[in-house]
Structure 1
């Protein structure tokens, strides 16, 4: 049942939702407060399409491990407590999810969605010849610096068709840039992919514009949503009022600012940082995507740059650059891959990942009959975007979803 759908949010989640809806025959309006699409959390993220490594951050042992991190100057996690009830509610719910059984269950939900997302992107690439965003199936190595962590990880590998346990020498044979990196071994997943998220957003936007079925309202901040009798009726853009038939909320962590009664969104921004390091002919950057497990740093070659991304900072809503955090990432990158690129000219970036306490996004109908959610993907937004958009289009059309929706439907009340 096609019709007009309005989407608040012009990042990778909102644009993938728009693309899936246009493919299904809908007319779409995408609204974003910024003047350009994909210019916030989607702009310079890690770039890894990590479909097999989707376990949530919340797990047994994480609170104790986090306490140890907080005492270190080079910690991958930073917590700055604030006089903010939203932060404390989120943290309490996060601690409640730090159980092995909960992590296992939520990881299964994410893996189901990630698998759908990979196949959906493949379908869009093949059917629509969608390209131009430096996509590659280059594989991924999760590398370990301690024998204890490596042994723990290798014990969790249950599908040798998709993942292989490799020694440090075997990892270096697969990816020569790893030689001398201080690792004891790694887990290789050949089917993982990499791409430029911002470039992907631009390609989706171009296809949407060319379709004739999508309108963009950029530089327009939604100041209020009008509602009555369990439905939303219009959105306010300052002094302008835009009627809506169906509305999708995909504005990341800012979605909670709209303050709709009865819609409690369990979202909080997890701040992360990245460096985009130019690669010249003289450099030796890794071609396989790398995750440094202990340091929580990811490396992905995207075209002629090496994207280095890291950190989980729970510090509020300030997306500004923090020189000390970025200097730490650069130092660790130089130690690990000294010849990978021109670090002196690396472009620095920070972004706010919109996360739920469980790490599982909210996709589907809300308490308002014509308001739909596509929110809370955390650090996996690019990985999960295509599958999330496809599911949303199916749910809006009242089609049978491609996957079991258990655990993915919004629990906001």
Structure 2
């Protein structure tokens, strides 16, 4: 349907946040152009992420509990959190702001806002799933967040109580025996944990498949898709972006420009006079082919999504595959795959789900998650920038969860300005 105030919007970035935004704008009747320097969608952090849609358990990384964990997390060789100091003012500035956000008031405020955005995102995403019959291995198996110690479980119970007061979905604390009953694939591992937070309503989906289908829909419905094209320059005059030029030689004029380039958005925004606190948190994943193991035993792989807080690793079933993802590395712009991290994910898989195969192509992947110190994404116009520049970044590990809600929010802001 056409909007009487239809605008031409150019979105830079074809990860899940960029494509969800493009989809929302196109659905509202706007003309859309998407520019992506890679040759296909989901080439960055969306390509091999943890696959969990964590609508109801959105506790930000910046939490007061981080202080007592910090020495262990930073000093142990195999710690799931690693900090590699760089001669980089942005890294130190981000790190100090992150530590400043590790207090109860900020954490609770971020949790409240993330829950609201996640609820909006769920409505928008599930409407798109139904409307478009999208095939991305989406299912709603629920989620178990495992805690190794009673102290950790008690802390989690406080977070569950907080989220209940903020309108979060139904969750409950379950002991180790009930974990094994809910998810038989965890029967052996359940003896090594104190319990878990169980959320029956949580979902999972293959983000790469979703991005590919959104891109195809956008193109079919008239969007101009420029893959393999890097933005070289912006023409800014009169306080607004008039056009941009790409490495493919195209000069693209538009009414509005959306920067959805993930961890690189901060550097690109600075070129346009905008300063945003976004820094890359590097993560890894492997994808285990569980088809043969499932033929031998229906409980070889989990049906329910699992987050192991001690290991900082998540497990999500995608058809006959299991996505295993985790780690947080604050290591600057190093996008290489560290073999030791892949080995660690394989070891975690063997420990938690011993019936899954430990051989074959594990499809090792790494991605740079664009994070803000508080965990809250940045959506909309920012001080100091051109009046028609909109940011869509900073979603951290919740990009898939929050993308459609952020898209709805950006559309609302644009309409209010119009």
**Is the pair's TM-score, using the shorter chain for normalization, greater than 0.5?**
yes
Query: 2:296 maps to which residue?
Result: 282
Q: Tell whether the 8 Å contact from 1:251 to 1:375 is kept in structure 2 after alignment.
A: yes
Please point out which of 245, 248, 251 is paired with 2:258: 248
Query: 2:125 maps to which residue?
Result: 121
Please point out which of 177, 183, 207 is paired with 1:175: 183
Distance in 1 of aligned mates of 2:250 and 2:155: 56
TM-score normalised over the length of structure 2: 0.92
Please point out which of 397, 400, 405 is paired with 1:379: 397
Q: Tell whether the 8 Å contact from 2:350 to 2:358 is kept in structure 1 after alignment.
A: no
Please point out which of 42, 56, 76 is paired with 2:60: 56
Distance in 1 of aligned mates of 2:118 and 2:22: 19
Tell me whether 230-239 or 108-117 shows the greater mean CA deviation.
230-239
Distance in 2 of aligned mates of 1:278 and 1:377: 28
Query: 2:386 maps to which residue?
Result: 368
* Offset at residue 124 of structure 1 (A): 1.2
* Offset at residue 262 of structure 1 (A): 3.0
Distance in 2 of aligned mates of 1:130 and 1:371: 32
**CA offsets per residue over residues 282-324 of structure 1, 9 Å max, x none?**
2510000000011111000011110000100000112110011
Distance in 2 of aligned mates of 1:314 and 1:89: 12
Q: Tell whether the 8 Å contact from 2:169 to 2:199 is kept in structure 1 after alignment.
A: no
Residue 133 of structure 1 pairs with residue 143 of structure 2: no
* Offset at residue 391 of structure 1 (A): 1.3
**CA offsets per residue over residues 332-353 of structure 1, 9 Å max, x none?**
2111111134544311100000
Query: 2:278 maps to which residue?
Result: 267
* Offset at residue 129 of structure 1 (A): 3.1
Residue 358 of structure 1 pairs with residue 369 of structure 2: no
The SS at the match of 1:131 is coil
Q: Tell whether the 8 Å contact from 1:138 to 1:287 is kept in structure 2 after alignment.
A: yes
Question: Against the structure 1 CA distance between its residues 161 and 268, is the aligned structure 2 distance closer, same or farther, given a 3 Å change threshold?
Answer: closer
* Paired residues, number: 398
Distance in 1 of aligned mates of 2:53 and 2:105: 25
* Offset at residue 161 of structure 1 (A): 6.3
Query: 2:413 maps to which residue?
Result: 395
Distance in 2 of aligned mates of 1:125 and 1:305: 21
Question: Against the structure 1 CA distance between its residues 390 and 399, is the aligned structure 2 distance closer, same or farther, given a 3 Å change threshold?
Answer: farther
Q: Tell whether the 8 Å contact from 2:346 to 2:358 is kept in structure 1 after alignment.
A: no
Query: 1:98 maps to which residue?
Result: 102
The SS at the match of 2:160 is coil
The correspondence of residues 25-104 of structure 1 with structure 2, limited to 5 A, is 25-104=29-108
In structure 2, stretches of 5+ residues that fail to align are none
Q: Tell whether the 8 Å contact from 1:278 to 1:343 is kept in structure 2 after alignment.
A: no
* Offset at residue 399 of structure 1 (A): 8.0
Q: Tell whether the 8 Å contact from 1:194 to 1:300 is kept in structure 2 after alignment.
A: yes
Please point out which of 310, 322, 328 is paired with 1:306: 322
Residue 205 of structure 1 pairs with residue 215 of structure 2: yes
* Offset at residue 157 of structure 1 (A): 2.5
Query: 1:237 maps to which residue?
Result: 246
Distance in 2 of aligned mates of 1:154 and 1:63: 19
Distance in 1 of aligned mates of 2:312 and 2:243: 43
The SS at the match of 1:392 is helix
TM-score normalised over the length of structure 1: 0.93
Tell me whether 390-399 or 359-368 shows the greater mean CA deviation.
390-399
Please identify which structure carries the higher helix content: 2
Residue 223 of structure 1 pairs with residue 232 of structure 2: yes
Distance in 1 of aligned mates of 2:388 and 2:115: 28
Q: Tell whether the 8 Å contact from 2:234 to 2:243 is kept in structure 1 after alignment.
A: yes
Query: 2:26 maps to which residue?
Result: 22
